[in-house]
Amino acid sequence: MKILAFAGSTSSTSINRELVKFVLKDFHDEDINLIDLNDFTMPVFSVDLEKKGFPDEAHNFLKKIEECDVIICSLAEHNRSYSAAFKNVFDWSSRINVKVFQNKPMLLMSTSPGGYGGGNVMNTAKTFFPQFAADIKDTFSLPKFYENFDMESGVINPDLLKELKEKIENFKNTVKTND
């Protein structure tokens, strides 16, 4: 199984990337492609630029999705929504293919230092990603990242760890069944 993983952030210290990496440990036998949105930096989307053509990076992002079997991602929340970096990749990609996520089974996550764990961006993505052909199998938000996550051992809050592990197991079973 080919896994495409990413954080919706370009931060070199992204906590969402840490959460993704922690989850990927449970998929160590699989073919993992953890991409960095910094490799998909494009000019800010505009309809005027679009008339001149699409950046290679947008095609590349869609190709990464095309090549994978499942998507594991965690979105950063900026001002209650997507980070500008993620939104830009999303916008450009959606203009090439509105089915951005190409019906790939997705484990959708978010985390933030706050108590809602990126719940706003999660709600937006949960509501609208399916309109872009996301097949969201499960979601998980980790609140208070710096209290609930240890950089060495991962999620340390027992209840949240239990919830996440159950969701990972269910996700694995669901995508196996779909094979």
Ligand X SMILES: Cc1cc2nc3c(=O)[nH]c(=O)nc-3n(C[C@H](O)[C@H](O)[C@H](O)COP(=O)(O)O)c2cc1C
Residues 81-120 that bind ligand X (CB under 6 A): 112-114, 116, 118
Choose between 84 and 156: whose C-beta lies nearer to ligand X. Answer: 84
Residues 118-137 that bind ligand X (CB under 6 A): 118
Two tokens, residue 15: 């906590």
Report the alpha-carbon angle 153-157-158, nearest 5.
100
Using the rule CB under 6 A, give the single segment among 8-16, 25-33, 86-94, 150-158 that binds ligand X. Answer: 8-16
> Taking CB under 6 A as the rule, does residue 78 contact ligand X?
yes
Selected binder of ligand X within 14, 88, 93, 141 (CB under 6 A):
14
Choose between 43 and 113: whose C-beta lies nearer to ligand X. Answer: 113
> Taking CB under 6 A as the rule, does residue 71 contact ligand X?
no
Selected binder of ligand X within 63, 80, 162, 165 (CB under 6 A):
80
Alpha carbons 59 and 152: distance in angstroms, whole number: 35
> Taking CB under 6 A as the rule, does residue 148 contact ligand X?
no
Q: Tell me the closest approach of the beta carbon of residue 174 to ligand X, in angstroms.
A: 26
Could you tell me if 138 and 167 are in contact, meaning their C-beta atoms sit under 8 angstroms apart? yes
Residues that bind ligand X (CB under 6 A): 7, 9, 11, 14-16, 76-80, 112-114, 116, 118
